């Protein structure tokens, strides 16, 4: 995930309400800096939940193994399994 903009903590304090109002309208990630160093991030709840879900999937070794196998199969142009054949 990339940072779309940076704002100093002193400026963020005065603009916090506006930042929160606008965060759902955009998919931006805003870094809050202290002395020019990023210290915190503001993002929409939707972005945060998606990031957490992605991290859960990536932490699941079985799912990741299955995904790697599927990617390899697709790269090797192996035939895909039709859902109707399984049911």
The DSSP string of 15-65 is HHHHHHHHHTTS---EEEEETTEEEEEE--HHHHHHHHHHHHHHH-HHHHH
pLDDT tens column, 42-72:
999 999 999 999 999 999 999 999 999 999 9
**Alpha-carbon span 51 to 46, nearest angstrom:** 9
CATH code: domain 1-43 is: 3.40.1620.10
pLDDT tens column, 9-43:
999 999 999 998 888 767 789 999 999 999 999 99
pTM for the model: 0.69
């Amino acid at each position: 995930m990339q940072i779309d903009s940076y704002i100093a903590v002193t400026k963020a304090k005065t603009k916090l309400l506006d930042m929160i109002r606008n965060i759902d309208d955009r998919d931006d990630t805003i870094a809050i800096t202290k002395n020019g160093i990023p210290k915190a991030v503001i993002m929409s709840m939707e972005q945060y939940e998606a990031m957490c879900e992605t991290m859960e999937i990536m932490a699941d070794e079985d799912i990741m193994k299955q995904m790697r196998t599927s990617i390899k199969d697709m790269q090797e142009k192996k035939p895909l399994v039709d859902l109707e054949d399984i049911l």
